[in-house]
A = this chain, B = another copy of it.
Amino acid sequence: MPRFIDVHSGFVGVTEDQLREAHERDLAAQGEENVSFEKAWLDPASGKVFCLATAPSKEAMNRVHEKAGHPTAEVYEVSIEVE
């Protein structure tokens, strides 16, 4: 299954509880699109959120974000991974 990283902006000063609440909406919407979120990281100083997920397509990622209420133009298919 392809892997994606999406980037959201504007989450300045957001707390862990608030991030969890926002991400719960992704998790609630992911099943019907066959998307599986693995992790979300937030830098509350810059307001950047990074989510790591697997999904059948970028369009499926976009639909989950739309349903969760936080669409983003930044969804990257990270087809290469090294350690």
Please, which residues of chain B bring their CB within 8 A of the CB of A16?
Answer: 80, 82
Given contacts A44-B79, A81-B39, A81-B41, contact A50 B5 (CB under 8 A): yes
Prevailing SS type, chain A contact patch: strand
Distance between A53 CB and nearest chain B CB, rounded to angstroms: 11
Q: Quick one: copies of this chain in the complex?
A: 2
Return A13 CB to nearest CB of chain B, in Å: 11
A residues sitting closer than 8 Å to B (CB atoms) are 3, 5, 7, 14-16, 19-20, 23, 37-46, 48, 50, 52, 76-83
The 5 A-B pairs at the shortest CB distance, nearest first, are namely A41-B78, A43-B76, A42-B80, A16-B80, A20-B82
